[in-house]
Structure 1
Amino acid sequence: MKLLDTLHRWTGGLIGLVLALLGLSGTILLYEHLWIGVPGASDPLRGDLASVAVATEKLMAAPGAQGIIYADDRFGLHQLRLEQDAGAYASQSGEIAARWASQWERPELWIFDFHHHLFAGDNGEWVIGIAGLAGLFFIISGAILWWRTRRTFQLRLWPRRLSRPSIVMHHRDLGIVVAPLLLISIITGTMMIFRPFALGVVAPFGPVAETAKALDPPKYKGGPLAAKPDYTAMLTEAHRRFPDADFRILSLPREDGDPISLRMKQPAEWLPNGRTTLWFDAATGELLGARDALAMPLGAQAFNTAFPIHASRVGGWAWRGLMTVSGLSLTLLGSLAVWTFWFRRPKAAKRSARAALVPT
């Protein structure tokens, strides 16, 4: 038990700040649709084919256009993605409402980048994934360590005093109360970072190999990107295939020969941007293939629920409130753990004095 306590304290002291910042940034992102101050953000959604096609043709004609994240029920503006991290918000008729040359000009973009990549791309994802696995260890070991002190349980939102004993007691008691919410947040977050971990979590829903194959995008090859792709024809074909689905993300190929991809969201999908996907030849606009998210293996469908649960895109305000409690609790627990470990550790003299009183 002493070894477990030591491991819990040291890993918390070393990685607690990362978890605290992830909790804080994640909580802020839960409400980003409410504080992005751009005219038209609250416009009602016009998802009909004609409106989307007109806006798409207009926006994709912009120099350097790379794709569009379409407006939805929460955010009434299209997001145009341009080269070199530039972008713009546009009304659903295709009129530009705001531009930026870098993500640093838009708080919602750099907070998102921090929460998902720590401003470090793939390397940052590895750090976040390791922090997530450490978070699981904290929850399990913390519950074991709390059991010894369960008779002294007192729920407090803030420590009685900012002394080390008070903070440690607060840490244990608050931690055990929010442990179920933290478990959900950390498991779903880590699933999106580490594919092997995610496959292990959804393994009860179906064969792992089948799930992994379903999640990997098919490898289609076509011609080079046409000078003026017929986006209206692509959207029309997509709407014909999935008439009840909303248009979510249009993406141009990253390399010559790669297809244009279009993601859609069917009503039964939880994932806000959907996983129903169509691929078109970038040269001719011919449909190369389509994937119905609702026909994917059960394991893949279970994986697709991780993000909407993590980002509270299901469950309405009640679930968003619970995820807010989870994020703020992680912020508080992580930051106070780091502070007590590095700045409120027992003095060496006091530790020696206590050791001298222990009979040998």
Structure 2
Amino acid sequence: MKALKPQLLKLHRWVGLTLAVLLTIQGLSGMSLVFRDEIDRVIHPALVVEPAATRVPVQALMDAVEARHPGVPVSRAEFPLWDDGAVLFKLTAKDGTRWLTAVDPYRGVIVRDGSLAAWPGEWIFLIHDSLLAGPFGETIVGIEGFGLLFLALTGPIVWWPGRKRLKQGFKVITGRGADLKWRTLHRAVGASIAIVLVMSATTGVLMVWKPEFRNVLRIVTPVTDKPAPKVPEQPSATMVPVDRLVAKARAEYGPTELRQIRFSDSGRVAAIFLESDLTIRAEGAKQIYYNRYDGSDVGHYVSGALPVGTEIVDWLITLHTGMFGGTATRLLMVVAGLSLAGLSASGLWLWYSRTTRGRKRAPVTRARAMAESA
């Protein structure tokens, strides 16, 4: 292993340098998304509303949004975890323009409305998810994930000081120059957070290539795909109010809290997302798909009642975001994101410092060689 360390260190260094800027972006954007909902309530005070005795029907909220943006279809509605939170509607125009509209669920009035640029949290999510570049950006993020996985696995190998000097490996040396201080800090932080970065990189890569991961799992265990129902267009027909669909979902699948409504197939299919009481997974949902013309059930996907392989796939996002252990693990993911950004930045600085010193030494070395040969 000692013989391999120099080669691993060289590979570790060059992979880190190649991906440093992108990994810094991923680290900072990821850490800011862990408490995204809480942060949004702070930077957008209008999202905090005054609770009342009754709520406006969801269909009426949706009608208000569609009146504000005629011809722009609603893609989803997100319902807050807090009683004093606004309902957030997301819309996407035919030209790809995204809009987000928040509505007071007790009064039915729009409290905040704007394009993507007016919602930093959504913008940062799209950066983290796809670098604002769609499927191509997702592929780049996946490649980054492989790079981070390599760095997180090789870093501890290169760092390993041996059992007898283990404490020394976590010591940050100060007072002997900036280069040594940052090098020892880089190694100590990298070794300390490596396991978390391995988990983050692995889950991130698997989420980018989730269909392929599902197919691999199918080799050893059954895996259920999410429904993708299609409904023929009926130009003269009216659609069932979404409140009736929500009521039907609660009656048939359990009266748990409504968390999302997602629309697909040009709005002809509505997926009602209810909290799942069948799983311990944070954000596990009972997803029921309805034909919006007649209210018929055209598919369902219930967390906690799915094959083991499917549950494994669904746990990826929970692990990646740190939701699996509540506030403590979410804070750990914040530390991991900040550490990733710091490791990337310090790695760049160390390379720059090393390169600068090498350039300064070169003239001196040449002068000595010339003097010795004279």
Question: Which of 123, 128, 132 matches 1:115?
Answer: 128
Q: CA 1:162–1:138 in 2, change beyond 3 Å: closer, same or farther? A: farther
Aligned pairs for 1:47-196 within 5 A: 51=55, 54-60=57-63, 62=66, 63=70, 64-66=72-74, 67-73=76-82, 76-83=85-92, 84-93=97-106, 94-100=108-114, 102-148=115-161, 151=165, 152-156=168-172, 163-195=178-210
Partner residue, 2:44: 38
Matches within 5 A, 1:244-259: 244-255=255-266, 259=269
Distance in 2 between residues matched to 1:75 and 1:108, nearest whole Å: 19
CA distance in 2, matches of 1:279, 1:107: 30
For normalisation by structure 2, the TM-score amounts to 0.80
| Deviations, residues 58-82 of structure 1 (Å, cap 9, x unaligned) | 3245233413112224982211112
Structure-2 separation of matches of 1:22 and 1:230: 40
Q: Deviations over 1:292-313 (max 9, x none)?
A: 2211111211222222232233
Other structure's SS at 2:146 match: helix
Greater CA radius of gyration, 1 or 2? 2
Partners of 1:21 and 1:65 in 2: how far apart? 31
Tell me if 1:289 matches 2:299.
Answer: yes
Query: In structure 1, the residue corresponding to 2:208 is in which secondary structure?
Result: coil
Give unpaired runs (5+ residues) of structure 2: 370-374
**Match among 235, 238, 241 for residue 249 of structure 2:** 238
Q: Which amino acid aligns with 2:86?
A: L
- For the structure 1 residues 219 and 111, does the alpha-carbon distance in structure 2 shift closer, same or farther, using more than 3 Å as the test? closer
How high is the sequence identity, in percent, across the aligned residues? 24
Cα distance in 2 for partners of 1:287, 1:4 equals 55
- Say which SS state the counterpart of residue 304 (structure 2) adopts: helix
Alignment: residue pair count: 344
Instruction: Give, in whole Å, the separation in 2 of the partners of 1:222 and 1:196.
Output: 24
Farther-moved stretch of structure 1 (85-94 vs 122-131): 85-94
1:272, CA displacement in angstroms?
A: 5.3
Structure 2: distance between partners of 1:8 and 1:343: 17
| Deviations 1:99-118, CA, capped at 9 Å, x for gaps | 00x21111111111111111
Aligned partners of 1:230 and 1:285 also within 8 Å = no
The letter for the 1-side match of 2:133 is A
Q: What is the CA deviation profile of residues 264-288 of structure 1, one whole-angstrom value per residue up to 9, with x for unaligned ones?
A: 2213445655342111123323222
Q: TM-score, normalised by structure 1?
A: 0.83
Distance (whole Å) between structure 1 residues aligned to residue 323 and residue 105 of structure 2: 22
How many Å separate the matches in 2 of 1:108 and 1:9?
A: 32
1:304 is paired with a residue of what secondary structure? helix
The amino acid that maps onto 1:190 is: V
Distance in 1 (CA, whole Å) between partners of 2:124 and 2:169 is 36
Which secondary structure state, in structure 1, belongs to the residue aligned with residue 61 of structure 2? helix
Gaps of 5+ in 1: none
Indicate the larger mover: 124-133 or 181-190.
181-190
SS at the partner of 1:217? coil
C-alpha distance after superposition, 1:37-94 (max 9, x if no partner): 3346456999x9x84x703333245233413112224982211112330121112223
Task: Pick from 213, 220, 227 the counterpart of residue 229 of structure 2.
Answer: 220
Q: Structure 1 210/342 Cα, relative in aligned 2: closer, same or farther at 3 Å? A: farther
